[in-house]
């Protein structure tokens, strides 16, 4: 910035009356607005405190340490009814995060496929993608969740007549059951091998890129990465004496016992969120790709690049710059929309928190916790996506 | 879903001074008289207790309590407006002043009475929690339910009792929790769960809604005490007295054999107790902030407890529930009213 951009008035004597000075005025109005805001918040808080005291409702977060006493159907960490409300809320939060992370992963995959498919020169593929987008994004999400839950999953057979695959995988009204791995002594080596494999794979990748930049020689990067990430743990598995066994599902009196079960509430919610969000992501991807001038593709062709490489090296990197900001909004939407889970009894943060609210009557505290958690999830997602956006942003030289 | 909104609205209301009036502890009675009706919180539909008919009129045992309150105040049982509430939202609605009285098969517990800012006004139905399963499972006792999936409504004592029962008996179970009774029953009916649990009265009421009611059986175990009754906000003793004594008036009327049909004859009675209850002598009603003939109004428009019970849930209805614990104390039951004098 140069001196020329500074307002001349700032250096000279004021030529207007004090109350006509735009700077003074803006200060006064901002001060008034701030005072009003402080007053509103103060009134709200004192009012809430008075009302709670009058109604004999105890405030504060002490209730989080009390025994919860209710059951939860999906618990990513250990849960017993004798544990505290605080832990119950944490389980709800983890269940929300689980749906959000799994949902974002699959919605991104499906969304990119749909976006690219819409631009496909193949008439059938592009029409299928078109109708998918038009139908899915015009139906309310809650309706779609209920559809998957009540119309699709509830029509599955009873546990006694489960669909089964090789007697290992089962699908029925109570969910999808798969064998549960049991890690015995020595299984830690496999985890370490996996980590080493991942680190080595990325080291190889960056070495190969550098070598290509320096010498122009190519290296089979994808194959060697896959080999390292998969191969090392498999090698470790056999070397450490096959320390993983499986707990297979058995037909119990009521349900299947043993194994690991994905509850139908989780499945229905995830499918609905993925399908719904992917329709929006598909449109974002299409817009991003179309935003890249066709001349770029033609330039790539004139260099003699294959179509796949043109997409990967020229079009997608430029399209991503358009795609990332609106994609962030879709990720935030997906995370927040997971609260519709309460309609089908998936124990997410809103559902479990609602139970706690009802058992304890601590409405204000629970609502504050919901707001705090969703705010944190959203801000963290946004910060990450902004960081990624900056990383891939066009670097002007 | 809209209940989440109302829960949030409560947060806002508690915060933003919509309930500023509460700070001055106003008279709920005067408030009700001014607006001209009683706002009554009921279930979203539980046969026999509170259920709208095809014309939109609410009927049921819990509904009749609200009608009796309206009859006592306005001499008109139709001056009630009903708010259908889920178990999860009922207390919030009462705390925030959205409703004047909650008459929604709500269990009286220590915790609710003390730390939720509520007062229980009596017990209009003595109940206990039970289990319903499909006959085809061949289960004879709740102790055989290890490993079962259990459909239960959230925010209820039911949800806590079922956890206690399975824990105490060292049985495993998978709770599947829904916000409304309707969703819970639907999930059970569709086969998502092996067991549906709620208060025994609720089991009978919901069974008639299932696709094939005869395929389901209620297990013999009653695993809890569920004293159900009307609830009011803490801090307005006069309103608590009114709701409490409206309930007692219906019990007393049954005890004295005062019915809708014989009310006019009873007014001529020489029995001093009957004369006092019906306001021919004394002024018990005025002490409540009502009129002398408050019991007459209740019986004329709504009836005594026996009439209400028989009409809504008794043996001649589809629910076919016998009086059991809800018989008068003089007939071996628990329904007992302090004297009106």
Interacting residues of A281 by C-beta distance below 8 A, sequence separation 6+: A107, A108, A110, A111, A112, A114, A115, A327, A330
Residues of B with Cβ-Cβ distance to A367 under 8 angstroms = 7-8, 11
Q: Cβ separation of B160 and A69 shorter than 8 Å?
A: yes
Between A56-65, A90-99, A261-270, the lowest mean confidence (pLDDT) is in A56-65
A155 belongs to a structural domain: yes
Angle (deg, nearest 10), helices A264-291 and A123-137: 120
- Percent with pLDDT over 70 in chain B: 93
Q: A274 in a domain, yes or no?
A: yes
DSSP B92-129: HHHHTTS-SEEEEEEE--HHHHHHSSEEE---SEEE-E
Residue B18 — very low, low, confident or very high, per pLDDT cuts 50/70/90? very low
Closest-CA distance, A6 to chain B, in angstroms, reads 44
**Spatial contact of A310 and A338, defined as CB atoms under 8 Å apart:** no
Inter-chain CB proximity A254 and B147 less than 8 Å: yes
Cα-atom radius of gyration of chain B, to the nearest Å?
21
In a domain, A296, yes or no: yes
DSSP state of A158: P
Give the domain CATH number at A110: 1.10.3720.10
Residues of chain A in contact with residue B146, where contact means CB-CB under 8 angstroms, are 253
pLDDT digit string, tens, across residues A171-192? 888 888 887 777 777 777 788 8
CA B54 vs. chain centroid, Å, equals 21
Report chain B residues whose CB lies below 8 A from the CB of A355. 88, 154-155, 159, 177
Domains and CATH numbers, chain B: 127-226 (3.40.190.10)
Q: What is the pLDDT of residue A395?
A: 67
Nearest to A343 among B1, B116, B177 (CB): B1
User: pLDDT class for A360, splitting at 50, 70, 90?
Assistant: confident
pLDDT of residue B6: 52
Residue of A nearest to B158 (CA): A70
- Count residue pairs from A and B with Cβ separation < 8 A: 165
The reply to whether A314 falls in a domain is yes
pLDDT tens track for A233-249: 888 888 777 777 777 77
Is there a domain that residue A363 lies in? yes
Name chain B contacts of A348, Cβ cutoff 8 Å: none
DSSP string, B35-55: HTSEEEEE-S-BTTTBEE-TT
Contact between B19 and A154 using a beta-carbon 8 Å cutoff:
no
Residues B256-289 pLDDT 10s:
999 999 999 999 999 999 999 999 888 888 889 9
Q: Is the pLDDT confidence value at B312 over 90?
A: yes
Per-residue model confidence as pLDDT tens digits over B224-265: 999 999 999 988 999 999 999 999 999 999 999 999 999 999
Taking CA atoms, B209 is separated from B49, B186, B206, B319, in Å, by 14, 9, 5, 11
In this complex, do A72 and B175 lie within 8 Å of one another by their Cβ atoms?
yes
> In this structure, is residue A283 part of a structural domain?
yes
Average the pLDDT over each of A139-148, A159-168, A262-271, B135-144 and give the range with the smallest value: A159-168
Given the structure tokens 């944490």, which residue do they identify?
Answer: A90
Nearest to B176 among A342, A345, A363 (CB): A345
Q: How many structural domains compose chain A?
A: 1
What residue numbers bound the domain in which A346 lies?
Answer: 85-179+248-392
Nearest CA in chain B to A152: B190
pLDDT of residue A364: 85
The mean pLDDT value of chain A amounts to: 85
What pLDDT, on a 0 to 100 scale, did the predictor assign at position A224? 84
Within a domain: residue A257?
A: yes
Kindly report the nearest CA distance between residue A150 and chain B, in angstroms.
8
pLDDT in the model for residue B16: 46
Name the residue in chain A with its Cα closest to that of B18. Answer: A47
* Chain B contact probe: residue of A161, A363, A366 with most B CBs at under 10 A: A363
**Least CA distance to B145: which residue of chain A?**
A254
Neighbour-count burial for B92-121, b at 16+ CB within 10 Å, e otherwise:
bbbbbbbbbbbbbbbbbeeebeeebbbbbb
Whether residues A360 and B179 touch (CB distance < 8 A) is answered with no
Tens of pLDDT, residues B97-140: 999 999 998 999 998 898 888 999 999 999 999 999 999 888 88
Q: What percent of chain B has pLDDT over 90?
A: 54
Q: How far is B340 from chain A (nearest CA, A)?
A: 29
Encoded tokens for B9 = 């609205």
> Which residue bears the tokens 């499918």?
A271
Amino acid B19: pLDDT: 43
A361 part of a folded domain: yes
- Mutation target to probe the A interface, by most A beta carbons within 10 A, among B140, B176, B180, B235 is B176
Q: Please give the pLDDT value at position B22.
A: 44
How far is the alpha carbon of B307 from chain A, nearest alpha carbon, in Å? 34
Determine whether the interchain pair A55/B114 forms a contact, defined as Cβ–Cβ distance below 8 Å. Answer: no
């Amino acid at each position: 910035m140069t001196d020329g951009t500074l307002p001349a008035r700032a250096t000279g004597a004021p030529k207007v009356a004090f109350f006509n000075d735009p700077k003074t005025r803006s200060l006064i109005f901002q001060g008034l607005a701030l005072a009003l805001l402080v007053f509103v918040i103060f009134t709200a808080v004192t009012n809430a405190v008075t009302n709670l005291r009058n109604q004999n409702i105890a405030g504060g977060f002490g209730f989080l340490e009390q025994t919860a006493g209710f059951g939860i159907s999906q618990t990513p960490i250990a849960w017993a009814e004798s544990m505290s409300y605080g832990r119950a809320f944490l389980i709800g939060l983890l269940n929300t995060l689980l749906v959000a992370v799994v949902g974002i992963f699959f919605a991104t995959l499906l969304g990119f496929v749909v976006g690219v498919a819409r631009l496909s020169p193949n008439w059938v593929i592009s029409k299928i993608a078109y109708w998918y987008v038009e139908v899915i994004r015009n139906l309310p999400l809650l309706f779609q969740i209920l559809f998957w839950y009540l119309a699709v999953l509830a029509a599955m057979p009873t546990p006694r007549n489960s669909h089964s695959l090789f007697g290992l995988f089962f699908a029925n009204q109570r969910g999808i059951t798969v064998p549960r791995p049991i890690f015995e002594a020595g299984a830690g080596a496999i985890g370490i091998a996996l980590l080493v494999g991942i680190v080595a794979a990325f080291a190889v990748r960056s070495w190969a890129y550098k070598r290509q930049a320096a010498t122009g020689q190519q290296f089979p990067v994808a194959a060697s990465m896959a080999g390292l990430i998969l191969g090392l743990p498999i090698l470790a598995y056999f070397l450490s004496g096959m320390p993983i066994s499986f707990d297979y599902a058995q037909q119990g009196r009521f349900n299947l016992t043993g194994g690991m079960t994905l509850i139908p509430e989780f499945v229905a919610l995830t499918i609905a969120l993925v399908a719904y969000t992917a329709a929006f992501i598909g449109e974002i991807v299409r817009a991003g790709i179309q935003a890249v001038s066709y001349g770029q593709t033609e330039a790539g062709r004139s260099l003699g690049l294959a179509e796949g490489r043109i997409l990967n090296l020229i079009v997608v990197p430029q399209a991503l710059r358009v795609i990332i900001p609106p994609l962030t909004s879709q990720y935030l939407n997906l995370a927040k929309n997971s609260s519709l889970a309460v309609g089908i009894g998936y124990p997410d943060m809103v559902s479990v928190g609602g139970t706690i609210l009802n058992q304890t009557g601590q409405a204000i505290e629970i609502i504050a916790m919901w707001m705090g958690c969703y705010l944190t999830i959203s801000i963290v997602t946004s910060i990450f996506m902004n960081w990624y956006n900056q990383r891939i942003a066009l670097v002007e030289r | 879903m809209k209940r989440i909104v109302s829960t949030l609205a409560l947060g806002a209301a508690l915060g933003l001074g919509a309930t500023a009036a509460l700070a001055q502890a106003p008279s709920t009675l005067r408030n009700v008289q001014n607006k001209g009706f009683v706002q009554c919180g009921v279930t979203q539909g539980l046969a026999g207790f509170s259920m709208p008919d095809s014309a939109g009129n609410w009927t049921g045992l819990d509904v009749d309590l609200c009608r009796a309150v309206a009859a006592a105040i306005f001499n008109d049982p139709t001056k009630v407006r009903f708010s259908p509430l889920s178990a999860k939202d009922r207390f919030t609605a009462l705390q925030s002043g959205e409703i004047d009285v909650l008459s929604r098969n709500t269990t009286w517990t220590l915790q609710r009475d003390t730390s939720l800012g509520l007062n229980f006004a009596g017990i209009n139905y003595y109940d206990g929690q039970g289990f319903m399963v499909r006959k085809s499972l061949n289960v004879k006792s709740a102790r055989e339910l290890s490993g079962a999936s259990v459909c239960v409504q959230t925010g209820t004592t039911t949800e806590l009792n079922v956890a206690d029962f399975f824990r105490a008996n060292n049985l495993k179970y998978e709770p599947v929790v829904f916000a409304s009774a309707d969703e819970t029953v639907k999930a059970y009916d569709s086969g998502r769960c092996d067991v549906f649990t709620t208060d025994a009265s609720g089991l009978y009421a919901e069974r008639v809604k299932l696709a094939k009611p005869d395929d389901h059986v209620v297990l013999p175990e009653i695993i809890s005490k569920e004293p159900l009754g009307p609830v009011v906000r803490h801090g307005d003793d006069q309103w608590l007295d009114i709701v409490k004594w409206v309930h007692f008036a219906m019990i007393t009327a049954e005890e004295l054999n005062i019915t809708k049909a014989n009310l006019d004859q009873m007014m001529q009675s020489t029995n001093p107790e009957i004369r006092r209850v019906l306001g021919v002598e004394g002024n018990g009603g005025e002490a409540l902030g009502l009129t002398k003939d408050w019991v007459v109004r209740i019986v004329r428009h709504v009836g005594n407890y026996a009439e209400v019970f028989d009409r809504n849930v008794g043996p001649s209805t589809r629910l076919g529930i016998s009086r059991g614990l809800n018989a008068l104390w003089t007939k071996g039951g628990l329904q007992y009213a302090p004297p009106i004098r």
